[in-house]
Copies of this chain bind each other. A is one copy, B any other.
Amino acid sequence: MSIRVGILGYGNLGRGVEASLRQNKDMELTAVFTRRNPESLKIASADVPVYGIDALETMQDQIDVLILCGGSATDLPVQTPRYASMYNVVDSFDTHAKIPQHYAAVDAAAKQSGKIGIISCGWDPGMFSLNRLYANCVLPEGQDYTFWGKGVSQGHSDAVRRIEGVKDCRQYTIPVPEAQEAVRSGSNPELTTRDKHTRECFVVAEEGADIEKIREQIVTMPNYFADYNTTVHFITEEEMKRDHSGLPHGGSVIRTGVTGLNGEHKHVIEYSLKLDSNPEFTGSVIVACARAAYRMQKEGMSGCKTIFDIAPAYLSAQSGEELRAHLL
């Protein structure tokens, strides 16, 4: 019997999860839940029902794992503990500074219900975190570096869109190749924010807007752009649609370190991602974690887990024998 999955929230991430479920034959999408009027929502899986969020109060016997596709700012801090009290749940909570308190809330709820709640799944936090952890365990004397991009940052794109006279924006975060090469060489460079990444904005301005004023407001914006070298390009709506409609992303986690009685041997561990679709890749990580949540709870575990707490074999549809024979 398949693992029966529900999705709460049908934005980019919800659609990514939906697409990923079709690639995993041991799982099936049972229903999509929404805070909108369910009749107004048309989903890609025509045969799957859409319900209002209230239906979740009574569907415990039909859903094995509920995947929460809301935002980290206001949705998940409420939703994940709430639904962990009824279901195995998985989320992609990504506000790094608030992970400890989110963990505590989900842990309490999931321990009481006897369910599993896996938080912060995706690639950062997620696969990148995992690679930082493994690399730190193997090379305790060393240094970590994370580069993001080239890819679209939704937060930075939104920040530019809030500037007066801006109709649309797509912001790309770009790692500086020289900084990456210096890190890979094992020279342990000290790198400032500006050294590591540049930012590039493609902006559609409203007719008659003051282009130079917009540019100035972008490059001096505190937190978002002031600490970076930023390039701003003004383009037409047609160019935006034609050249910038995707959501690519990626990056790399690098740890350099030494071994030997006198630290005489250098090592470089690098994990890198090149993703055509950030939400679909994130959705794929979440779906693998949903499988793990289901199996861990079946074995009697409960409480909040992160990717650090999941024995890798739980993520795979293959048996231990198959994994040892083919992937070890």
Binding site for B on A (CB under 8 A): 16, 19-20, 22-24, 44, 96, 99-100, 103, 120, 125, 127, 129-134, 136-141, 184, 259-261, 265-277, 280-281, 283-285, 288, 291, 306-313, 315-317, 320-321, 323-325, 327-328
Min Cβ gap A81→B in Å is 16
Residues of B within 8 A of A291 (CB): 137
CA distance A71 to B269 in the complex (A): 26
Closest to A269 in B: B273
Copies in the complex: 2
Q: Which of B24, B120, B260, B267 contacts A19 (CB 8 A)?
A: B260
Min Cβ gap A273→B in Å is 6
CA distance A96 to B325 in the complex (A): 8
Min Cβ gap A324→B in Å is 6
Known contacts being A260-B277, A270-B271, is A99 close to B325, with CB within 8 Å? yes
| Contact indicator B288/A328 (Cβ below 8 Å) | no
Residues of B within 8 A of A277 (CB): 259-260, 265, 267
Residues of B within 8 A of A327 (CB): 129, 132-133, 136, 308
Closest to A283 in B: B259
| Contact indicator B271/A275 (Cβ below 8 Å) | no
Residues of B within 8 A of A140 (CB): 23-24, 317
| Contact indicator B138/A284 (Cβ below 8 Å) | yes
Min Cβ gap A250→B in Å is 8
Q: Which of B16, B265, B311 contacts A308 (CB 8 A)?
A: B311
Residues of B within 8 A of A99 (CB): 324-325, 328
Scoring A24, A134, A141, A269 by chain B CB atoms within 10 A of each residue's CB, the highest score goes to A134
| Contact indicator B271/A271 (Cβ below 8 Å) | yes
Closest to A324 in B: B99
CA distance A309 to B320 in the complex (A): 9
Additional pairs, 5, CB under 8 Å, beyond known A20-B259, A96-B328, A265-B276? A99-B324, A133-B315, A134-B312, A269-B272, A312-B312
Closest to A292 in B: B137
Known contacts being A20-B259, A266-B276, is A136 close to B316, with CB within 8 Å? yes
Residues of B within 8 A of A136 (CB): 316, 327
CA distance A127 to B325 in the complex (A): 16
Q: Which of B288, B323, B328 contacts A138 (CB 8 A)?
A: B288
CA distance A140 to B311 in the complex (A): 18
